Structure 1
Amino acid sequence: MVDLRALFSSNDPVGSAEAFTNRQNQWGLVATAIEDHLRHIADPGFNVEDLETSRNNVVHFHGVGGVGKSTLLRKIEASLTAADQRPTQ
């Protein structure tokens, strides 16, 4: 068992396999955001040239180092990329 307080108060690198677990909630939020965005841009009233209307198509991950933000983003990128264009994991 890892003492999280000690883990995150040190500067020791953390292996992603050790800390990257239980990301179903974050994955669901990203999937919902992508679905909403695709629905929005498919709407007949959407005009890509309209620079006046505000946009809300940014997903932001934040947190202490070593908890798996970059790993989650790499997995999202891999799932959205054609199989022959996916980066090596």
Structure 2
Amino acid sequence: MEPFAGFGILAVLLIGAIAGWLAGQIVRGYGFGIIGNIIVGIIGAVIGTWLLGQLGVSTGGGVLGAIIGSTIGAIVLLLIIGLFRRA
């Protein structure tokens, strides 16, 4: 299962930006700008795809499913980053 299977590069960048921004809104105190949001969203997509696959959870297909999965992964990523920042 690939995080962005079937999407073009512009769709990947847009989904990554949305997911990174949403995660930043949910996990307060994280604002990375547009480039940072894209990076967090794309890394979040990889984490979210793996994590949800391990749990047997499907977010469905299409753009909305990709945004949901990527956002979940980005939230996990930001929480992990927060643990290391506090240490």
Mark yes or no: TM-score above 0.5: no
Structure richer in helix, relative to its length: 2
Report the TM-score, using the length of structure 2 for normalisation: 0.29
Report the TM-score, using the length of structure 1 for normalisation: 0.29
